[in-house]
């Protein structure tokens, strides 16, 4: 595949928003791009040093959307992506209904990987029972999260990386490790195995997390992922 590091930050953010959400014919958000078709956020803003990617839910009032568009155009976030005036966005959206949830966090892309040497095991319907001890809630999602890789200890998956959301162009990682097995580097191994397989499929491997998830950000640093922007969404 082409080296994702050669793509601009703005191109990567455009790619990510298409992985995260489904859109209607005019580019408005409809649902989250995963099984269950939960509603997409009312407003999504992908902030990069090269510009912003704004998306609006299809049910959002036209006047409110125009007000948000004006605010996005005027804000100098490209110069300081970490400085976000969320209060003004909340004020605009709250004219319709109260904000229920705010998400804010960095977004990364994996570099090109060859064939990594890891302990990771591919999880399929044939060995899905390995998830029962620590990740039973994920068993039914195995068909939708492929590829899925795990570190197995004592016949149990103790760290798991899979595709949270996927498109024909890219996929976003979902990483989890059982509490008693953290700090051993297992998250690095399963993430690398997952990303290498995604890239073999001709897709870009993306990774994002919340600002308050310091452990997940530490994984991104150790994997030497490229940070390309910040995700901000309001539901």
How many Å is the maximal CA-CA distance in the chain? 58
- Per-residue pLDDT, averaged over 99-112, amounts to 94
Q: How many domains does the chain have?
A: 2
Q: Give yes or no for residue 226 having a pLDDT over 60.
A: yes
- Measured distance CA(23)–CA(25) in Å, rounded: 7
226 part of a folded domain: no
Cα distance between the two ends of the chain = 35
213 part of a folded domain: no
19 part of a folded domain: yes
Q: Which residues pair with 150 in a beta bridge?
A: 121, 160
- Residue 145 has what DSSP assignment? S
Q: Give yes or no for residue 214 having a pLDDT over 60.
A: yes
User: pLDDT per residue over 50-73, tens digit each?
Assistant: 889 999 999 999 999 999 999 888
Same domain, yes or no: 135 and 187: yes
Q: Give yes or no for residue 2 having a pLDDT over 90.
A: no
Q: Going by C-beta distance under 8 Å and a sequence separation of 6 or more, which residues neighbour residue 221?
A: none
- Measured distance CA(65)–CA(42) in Å, rounded: 10
Q: Going by C-beta distance under 8 Å and a sequence separation of 6 or more, which residues neighbour residue 167?
A: 18, 19, 33, 203
- Measured distance CA(217)–CA(131) in Å, rounded: 25
- pLDDT confidence of residue 1: 56
Same domain, yes or no: 101 and 151: no
The residue segments making up the domain with residue 35 are 4-109
Q: Which of 234, 193, 227, 173 is nearest to 12 (CA)?
A: 227
Q: Which of 109, 125, 86 is nearest to 206 (CA)?
A: 109
CA-CA-CA-CA dihedral for 83, 88, 94, 98, to nearest 10: 30
- Measured distance CA(8)–CA(14) in Å, rounded: 10
Which tokens hold the place of 117?
């040497």
196 part of a folded domain: yes
227 part of a folded domain: no
- Per-residue pLDDT, averaged over 102-116, amounts to 90
Same domain, yes or no: 149 and 182: yes
Q: Which percentage of the chain shows pLDDT scores above 90?
A: 76
Does residue 127 or residue 77 have the better pLDDT?
A: 127
User: pLDDT per residue over 3-56, tens digit each?
Assistant: 776 789 999 999 999 999 999 999 999 999 988 879 999 999 999 988 899 999
Q: Which of 75, 109, 143 is the last residue of a domain?
A: 109
Which CATH number characterizes residue 146's domain?
A: 3.40.630.30
Same domain, yes or no: 69 and 151: no
- pLDDT confidence of residue 203: 95
Q: Which of 83, 109, 135 is the last residue of a domain?
A: 109
Q: Which of 87, 109, 131 is the last residue of a domain?
A: 109
230 part of a folded domain: no
Q: Pairing between strand 156-166 and 149-153?
A: antiparallel
Q: Which of 29, 87, 86 is nearest to 58 (CA)?
A: 29
Q: Give yes or no for residue 205 having a pLDDT over 90.
A: yes
Same domain, yes or no: 92 and 125: no
77 confidence band (pLDDT: 50, 70, 90): low
């Amino acid at each position: 595949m082409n080296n994702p590091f050669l793509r601009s930050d703005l191109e990567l953010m455009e790619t990510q928003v298409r992985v995260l959400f489904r859109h209607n014919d005019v580019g408005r958000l409809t649902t989250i791009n995963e099984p269950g078709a939960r509603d997409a956020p009312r407003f999504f803003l992908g902030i990069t040093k090269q510009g912003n990617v704004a998306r609006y839910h299809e049910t959002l009032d036209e006047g409110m959307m125009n007000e948000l568009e004006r605010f996005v155009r005027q804000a100098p976030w490209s110069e300081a992506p970490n400085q976000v005036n969320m209060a003004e966005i909340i004020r605009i959206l709250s004219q319709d209904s109260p904000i229920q949830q705010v998400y804010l966090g960095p977004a990364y892309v994996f570099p090109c990987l060859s064939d990594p040497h890891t302990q990771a095991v591919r999880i399929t319907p044939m060995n899905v029972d390995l998830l029962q001890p620590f990740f039973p809630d994920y068993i039914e999602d195995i068909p939708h999260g492929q590829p899925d890789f795990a570190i197995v200890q004592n016949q149990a998956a103790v760290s798991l990386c899979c595709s949270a959301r996927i498109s024909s162009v890219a996929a976003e990682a979902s990483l989890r490790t059982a509490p008693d097995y953290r700090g051993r580097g297992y998250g690095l191994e399963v993430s690398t195995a997952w990303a290498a397989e995604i890239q073999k499929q001709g897709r870009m491997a993306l990774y994002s997390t919340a600002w308050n998830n310091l452990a997940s950000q530490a994984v991104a640093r150790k994997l030497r992922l490229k940070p390309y922007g910040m995700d901000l969404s309001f539901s």
